[in-house]
Chains A and B, each alone.
Chain A
């Protein structure tokens, strides 16, 4: 029953982290045994001394809770959802990465997150690319049933703007003053954020536009800063690249759930080639994730556990990896709270 001190500057500052043990050898936080024997208060000298210290204890916990105004209460209520969707690849042969990101964009919009709460970063323009036989249309399936680009897409960061610097600025909220609101992640301590990244990656890195890399410790530092600034209540990171699981190896902040499409040493593969467009149109991991989400609507009660169980390594040709140790709730209790509320 020991109380852990959140080394990450977690949302609760516990009294025991700040105050040393009393000379009597008794800590300020009562342990289970004396509390249980409160009924025999009259007779137990330890309990008597505890009772004397109780008002002091109460005073201290309240003051510690009140003192830092920025400290969120441990029960910050979930009241908004955000999505940050990043496609880091440019050039026509990486069409599938754009289609991955746009598929998630469409899903997230369909299930209730409005454009104002979505930051979409696309490193290249596929829909109006001169090589696209179907202008203003992006497909993730060779049956061309679904036009992912639609009529109302809003892209926040385009082309050369998708850089590691801008990505980290979006996550941490440290922008120049002139940057408009639509390009900022304006989340708060009640936000659930979905962060989806796709592109080419490797052992502990993700490649941005064939020019720079985002390393796993960069990502972990940015998430740590987000946690310090109370920019999220829970964060779900989904990455669809080769060796995606290595990107999460440095994460330490609580409230983070990470899903990667493959383990260290494994590649993530594309799903199928569209002979009409001429390139692969979707990746396997995203294809199966979408297959799961297409069966849902805003009122469904599916849980993240069922999402995980739907991944079949033989279909993905890689092992989907999820990191749950930083996440406090049991997964079968988590409804798809990221998508609606």
Chain B
């Protein structure tokens, strides 16, 4: 009995201990959830860059990241739930969806830097996704994914569901084991209705922070605008969502038209207010960091060096309207200073003191952006509605390969990936290669080729090619013949006489790396934008979209046929019935009888004899 009864002090102590334990557990749980919730991050960045042809580039970059689902469960406070549901439902490991209008001008705006490699996209909609599923289930999942994305982004992405619209490249687009699907819609319009849901995925939407600069008429008046959504999901890292919007605008300023005293024309001086009609009045409060960068390309930096001035924000050639908080210099392989970035931390600005970054040019300046080794373009040859040819040309831009010298084995590799719809029936055996005007054997130039021929109404034709060009080459042309197919009358779109599109081909140069590294002064925080720049990425460029006129039927034919047929039938049956029923003599007799009858009556009434 004594053993069972505990002294009151021990009981009290036990009670206190258990209460303490309970409190500790609760605190641990709270901190766990707080940790998980705190691990969701959002950063926003804006990069501005003057372009050589008197335009300005603005690149918005928003990154949301969510920790792995096992840690955080299904509750999100910054990360958009729609995206995490998408990733879970369709088992996506990587996805990229871009909406573009306009063509990236590789000659003027560059083709070698990470911006043009990652953000120069083909016109219309481009979607590719890598799934974490058994290969047999991927096509059905792709179909459901396209429908869901079409509802989410107000676009007709559901047209990519049919097997005639997507393809499964193995190495031409991105090396994979057969779980990648790629589709493009070149004629998809991109307008405010696509931007609205894209902005709704951001925690501050377009109400606060950098996204508040997006004045829609400015964005859609640009020469090029491309909004992109890139997803990467893994069990260990969770989901990382990058949303970028790249716009090339023409600043509308008076100073741009002035002639300088030295005779050259000054580049237009612009600021954020000129570009977007707004100033930046503060950051999005839930963002971990909010920064604006101004990028001064290598071409300008070289000119400044040549002028003998020191590359700072205020020098002989240009001056930035606001003093930057920091400047970062890119270090390339040879430790030679290339481009430089001036950084502004939006945290230091608010609605009383808004941020309005701008650049004012002091001297006229001409520079050029680094280009890809070859300028790839594509065009159609031939006339008539029966056959034609697709030609692809590679024009050397004079970029010296690092390993070049006079060795004869020097060659530049290029990978071509092209998808052609089934009604453009390409004959892959008719591939011809011309280097500097001379016809070469295919085996000399084509290292590896993988073709999935098209099947009528089932599959598009996919071609992946690895080419090796000699370094000294100036111009190479590839041609492929095709026949134009016939479509069923129901398959023609309402504006069939405009023609049909062949989506852009992708040309990549695997030996050229477009990464740029900027040493970070702050070891604790890595800017996602600069992280993307540092990523290894091969230089790539997209060719033009081709418009193929196909034979269209006379859409009024059904009406014409019905009219003709009915007329013929009416004439035939009418005449037949007439011939069968009509008695010519009977008519006359009938008429005579009538007359006689009348006459008799008449005679009777008049007492005359007939």
Assess whether B189 is interfacial by the CB under 8 Å rule: yes
Contact with B along A107-150 (1 / 0, CB 8 A): 00000000000000000010111000011110000000000011
Residue on A nearest B143 in the bound complex, by CB = A178
Q: Which chain A residues lie closer than 8 Å to B151 at the CB level?
A: 156, 179-183
Q: Which chain A residues lie closer than 8 Å to B188 at the CB level?
A: 159
Q: Which chain A residues lie closer than 8 Å to B144 at the CB level?
A: 178
Assess whether B137 is interfacial by the CB under 8 Å rule: no
CB distance from B345 to the nearest CB of A (A): 27
The answer for the CA separation of A153 and B219 in the assembled complex, in Å, is 15
The answer for the CA separation of A175 and B249 in the assembled complex, in Å, is 42
The answer for the CA separation of A137 and B219 in the assembled complex, in Å, is 12
Assess whether A18 is interfacial by the CB under 8 Å rule: no
Interface pair B220/A135, CB less than 8 Å apart: yes
The answer for the CA separation of A328 and B196 in the assembled complex, in Å, is 40
Interface pair B216/A180, CB less than 8 Å apart: no
Interface pair B217/A135, CB less than 8 Å apart: yes
Assess whether A187 is interfacial by the CB under 8 Å rule: no
Selecting from B7-15, B153-161, B227-235, B265-273, the interface stretch reads B153-161
CB distance from A197 to the nearest CB of B (A): 17
Interface pair A160/B155, CB less than 8 Å apart: no
Q: Which chain A residues lie closer than 8 Å to B196 at the CB level?
A: 151-154
Residues 339-381 of B at the A interface (beta carbon under 8 Å): none
Residue on A nearest B496 in the bound complex, by CB = A211
Q: Which of B156, B193, B219, B220 contacts A154 (CB 8 A)?
A: B193
- Most A C-beta atoms less than 10 A away, residue of B143, B154, B191, B219: B191
Assess whether B101 is interfacial by the CB under 8 Å rule: yes
Interface pair A158/B217, CB less than 8 Å apart: no
Assess whether B593 is interfacial by the CB under 8 Å rule: no
Interface size on B, residues (CB 8 A): 31
Interface pair B495/A155, CB less than 8 Å apart: no
Q: Which chain B residues lie closer than 8 Å to A181 at the CB level?
A: 151
CB distance from A34 to the nearest CB of B (A): 59
Assess whether A103 is interfacial by the CB under 8 Å rule: no
Interface pair A134/B217, CB less than 8 Å apart: yes
Q: Which chain A residues lie closer than 8 Å to B206 at the CB level?
A: 151
Assess whether B147 is interfacial by the CB under 8 Å rule: yes
Interface pair A153/B192, CB less than 8 Å apart: yes
Residues 187-209 of B at the A interface (beta carbon under 8 Å): 188-193, 196-197, 206
Q: Which chain A residues lie closer than 8 Å to B189 at the CB level?
A: 125, 128-129, 158-159
CB distance from A178 to the nearest CB of B (A): 4
Residue on B nearest A150 in the bound complex, by CB = B192
Interface pair B494/A160, CB less than 8 Å apart: yes
Residue on B nearest A181 in the bound complex, by CB = B151
Residue on B nearest A176 in the bound complex, by CB = B147
Q: Which chain A residues lie closer than 8 Å to B221 at the CB level?
A: 135-136
CB distance from B77 to the nearest CB of A (A): 22
Taking A91-B495, A176-B147, A180-B152 as known contacts, 17 extra A-B pairs with beta carbons closer than 8 A to each other, sorted by chain A number, are A125-B189, A127-B191, A134-B217, A135-B217, A136-B220, A137-B217, A149-B191, A153-B196, A154-B154, A155-B154, A156-B154, A158-B193, A159-B156, A160-B156, A180-B151, A181-B151, A182-B151
Please give me the 3 A-B residue pairs with the lowest Cβ-Cβ distance, nearest first: A180-B151, A125-B189, A128-B191
**Interfacial residues, chain A to chain B (CB-CB below 8 A):** 90-91, 125, 127-129, 134-137, 149-156, 158-161, 176, 178-183, 209-211
Instruction: Name 13 interchain pairs, CB-CB below 8 A, sorted by A.
Output: A136-B192, A136-B217, A136-B220, A150-B192, A151-B196, A151-B206, A152-B196, A159-B188, A160-B156, A160-B494, A178-B143, A178-B158, A210-B494
